Structure 1
Amino acid sequence: MPGMYEAPRSSPRLSGTVPALNGVRGVAVVLVFLFHAEVPGFTGAFIGVDIFFVLSGFLITVLLLQEHQRNQAINLKKFYLRRALRLLPALLLLLAVYLGYCFSVFPDAATRLYHLQDAAMALFYAANWTRAFGLDRPYHLGHCWSLSIEEQFYALWPLLLLLLLRLSWRRRAALIALLLAASWGWRVWLLAQGASWARVYNGFDTRADMLLAGCLLAVLWNAGALQGWGRARFYPATLTALSLAALGVIAFASRWQTAALYQWQYALVALATALLTLDLLARPRGIFARIFSLPPLVGLGAISYALYLWHYPLLHYLGRQGLAGSALVWAGALLTLAFALFSWYAVEKPAQRLKGRFAAAPERTSETTDKMQKKRFCLDRH
């Protein structure tokens, strides 16, 4: 079959770390923190989660495509083991501390059972659906809805990608674009039929377009179809600047309970994030790559998963202690950073070393053997 299992000759390789993408993660997690801390002027900063979605779709897909090109196969067992080692240790630490606190503070069995159930919703990645269908739970772990969506994506996407790999990259891209449009259209239709804000905000089916935007970018990038971006002189910088401006305006002005968000603003966020990602990859010495490669942003991006896990319950805890306003923001930021650093060094880095044992087998050449031992694509810190 023509095009079956094709490996584009001009396919770019992404075998090393990309600091600027970690910088984007750093900015995204700061946006989410500012939104949850209710800092004035950041009513739309929840789009930091959607920036994560686009990056996740891109990074996962590129790594799977490149593994398939090297080995003519994708080792699903190793993929799921790598995902478990990346995500579960930090989550288990959070849930252990959360339940330890709840069981020490609340003596009655009913309240303890309530918090235990919330922890189970987070652990089994069901939090998006419990919130989508009106349970408004988990409460203090409500931010785990986005982790649930990503985990559902990790479970399904490699299986679907294996089917798509039977097609040429052009048909593959076309089908992904069709799925993206279907998710967007389904969300708009549900909203028009009177679906709740919680349903369209939390559903995997209504948010899959953000992840698929990253997947589509990955297919095009891996096929070498976007290499002209790095060679062009003027329009990439202009489009990237406009993309950043669009993200900034939405982060400052949007609200999650508005129809415009689900009708067209999310589509703009997906497009802007994809263009930003493309620019950072295609022009690693460009002005935007240099900005997002600043050490503080890269450092925040490296621990962004832990920062995301801890900030929400800590803000709830501090609010219960009577903190508000700037005191809540600064205390929350410091406590979140402290817990995130502990999580990173105590459980995540050791798990990363174990995760390396299940890395996708590199192409066996004398050149790649040494390099793959020394380098890790930035997904390793995702």
Structure 2
Amino acid sequence: MKHIRTLDGVRGFAVIIVMLFHLEIPGFSLGWAGVPLFFCLSGFLITGILLEQKQQPFKEYLGGFLLNRLLRIFPLFYAYLLVNYLFLKATGQSAAGYIWFILYLQNLYIGITGTTPGFVIQTWSLAAEEQFYWLWPLAIFFLKGRVMVKVFIPLIIFSLLARSFIYHASGNNPYMFNATLLSCTDALILGALFAKIKDYKSAPRVAFWMLLAGLALSAYAVITTGLSAFWLPSGWVGKCGYLPTSMAMVFTAIIFYVYHWDKQAISNPLASVLENKFLVYTGKISYGLYMWHLACFFAITVIGRKFGVDNHSLIFFIIALLFAYLVSTLSYYLFEVHFLKLKRKARRTVTSPNGIVL
């Protein structure tokens, strides 16, 4: 799929609102919505690539995909795990449950226990997403084009129902509600659905009605539940469990329109905002920001206490964010970029039927 600069801005926006949520900045209790936004974007982009690469022999198709994912995700993830583990040992804290993280099953551990060893709670979404991508390439390769949409829509509905079932079956555990692979499948497949239909004539109309429905449901959930309830899962999960799905409907529609505007060379204020250099750069280093930001915020909190800086003050927010950007920039250029070069080197150059060079 052709690189779309505006989608980098979408990715940048997603990680910014997640960081503002973790800083507990007033008004950003819904900042965790950056995670389902990531899921929708990932489903859209990666499914688009898989659809274009279906023409390859199965071995090259699957092997190339898995190698690319491994080189992009695992090096920084395990480097961060190592840094976190060394911190735990240096401070005499328990590393109980670390094997779950090493095996990339931390979403289940966090869902079951509601706790994490150190600053790794954000990694639950990485595990859920990667578990999805252990299976999804097989579905895309073996499903015929004409039946994909017929399969995708029931899977989205099934994910919504499964999330509610898991919540009740776990004794109303609000962390299990979000943590499992099935809990996240609706957002990922909504993105995948529009990767499949993005060039259909009906796609803009479908996206429009989905956007309206998603906005209406999401607004109803927020109004009836109260904005302050969304800081913790326990405050809203039992009241509006459909919210992640309705948000994913909104996000996927917006992602589609960003793609559509780029394809049709349509300019508008939202596209201009998303093409802002700061947002695009944030999207470029978003993986590092997502991984490092909690550790950075903790470090600034410790330093701030020594200087009497309140961790809910404006100066704290600014310094914490600047430090996260600094660390993530260094992480990208001194560490991640070497694996990205290996990824590009390992990727075979393939020309898809629509002429896109991958």
Size of the alignment, in residue pairs? 339
Cα distance in structure 2, aligned partners of 1:78 and 1:242: 38
Counterpart for residue 308 of structure 1: 290
Structure 2 residue 149 is the aligned partner of structure 1 residue 173: yes
Query: Is the Cα–Cα contact under 8 Å of residues 57 and 213 in structure 1 kept in the other structure?
Result: yes
Equivalent of residue 269 in structure 1, options 242, 247, 254: 247
Structure 2 residue 126 is the aligned partner of structure 1 residue 147: yes
TM-score by length of 1: 0.79
Counterpart for residue 200 of structure 2: 225
Give the structure, 1 or 2, with the largest relative contact order (CA under 8 Å, sep 6 or more): 1
Q: C-alpha offsets along residues 312-349 of structure 1, whole Å, 9 cap, x if unaligned?
A: 12223333453511243222211111110011001111
Counterpart for residue 380 of structure 1: none
Distance 1:211 1:237, change over 3 A: closer
Q: C-alpha offsets along residues 212-253 of structure 1, whole Å, 9 cap, x if unaligned?
A: 1111111222xx325663xx8xx9889869978987996993
Counterpart for residue 174 of structure 2: 197
Query: Is the Cα–Cα contact under 8 Å of residues 197 and 203 in structure 2 kept in the other structure?
Result: no
Distance 1:182 1:283, change over 3 A: same
Cα distance in structure 2, aligned partners of 1:90 and 1:358: 18
Structure 2 residue 321 is the aligned partner of structure 1 residue 333: yes
Query: Is the Cα–Cα contact under 8 Å of residues 93 and 343 in structure 1 kept in the other structure?
Result: no
Residue identity matched to 1:340: S
Cα displacement (A) at 1:202: 1.2
1:1-382 to structure 2, matched below 5 A, reads 14=1, 16-69=2-55, 71=56, 73=58, 75-103=61-89, 105-106=90-91, 108=92, 111=93, 114-115=94-95, 117=96, 120-134=99-113, 136-164=115-143, 167-169=144-146, 171-192=147-168, 194-221=171-198, 224-226=199-201, 229=204, 253=227, 255=230, 256-257=233-234, 258-259=236-237, 263-284=241-262, 285-287=266-268, 288-321=270-303, 322=305, 323-326=310-313, 327-363=315-351, 372=357
Query: Is the Cα–Cα contact under 8 Å of residues 82 and 355 in structure 1 kept in the other structure?
Result: yes
Consecutive unaligned residues of structure 1, counting only runs of 5 or more, are 1-13, 377-382
Cα distance in structure 2, aligned partners of 1:237 and 1:295: 28
Q: Provide the identity percentage.
A: 25
Cα distance in structure 2, aligned partners of 1:336 and 1:352: 21
Residue identity matched to 1:318: I
Cα distance in structure 2, aligned partners of 1:18 and 1:118: 39
Q: C-alpha offsets along residues 243-285 of structure 1, whole Å, 9 cap, x if unaligned?
A: 7898799699361331367532112111101110111011123
Distance 1:182 1:242, change over 3 A: closer
Q: Alignment RMSD, CA only?
A: 3.0
Cα distance in structure 2, aligned partners of 1:216 and 1:261: 28
For residue 88 of structure 1, give the secondary structure of its aligned residue in structure 2: helix
Residue identity matched to 1:325: H
Cα displacement (A) at 1:35: 0.6
Cα distance in structure 1, aligned partners of 2:333 and 2:104: 24
Cα displacement (A) at 1:135: 5.3
Cα displacement (A) at 1:120: 4.3
Cα distance in structure 2, aligned partners of 1:128 and 1:33: 19
Query: Is the Cα–Cα contact under 8 Å of residues 211 and 253 in structure 2 kept in the other structure?
Result: yes
Distance 1:135 1:19, change over 3 A: same
Query: Is the Cα–Cα contact under 8 Å of residues 188 and 262 in structure 1 kept in the other structure?
Result: no
For residue 38 of structure 1, give the secondary structure of its aligned residue in structure 2: coil
Cα displacement (A) at 1:157: 1.1
Cα distance in structure 1, aligned partners of 2:48 and 2:196: 7
Query: Is the Cα–Cα contact under 8 Å of residues 39 and 184 in structure 2 kept in the other structure?
Result: no
Cα distance in structure 2, aligned partners of 1:217 and 1:292: 20
List, as ranges, runs of 4+ consecutive aligned residues in structure 1 with deviation greater than 4 Å. 117-120, 235-252
Query: Is the Cα–Cα contact under 8 Å of residues 244 and 276 in structure 1 kept in the other structure?
Result: no
Distance 1:274 1:236, change over 3 A: closer
Residue identity matched to 1:190: I
Counterpart for residue 10 of structure 1: none
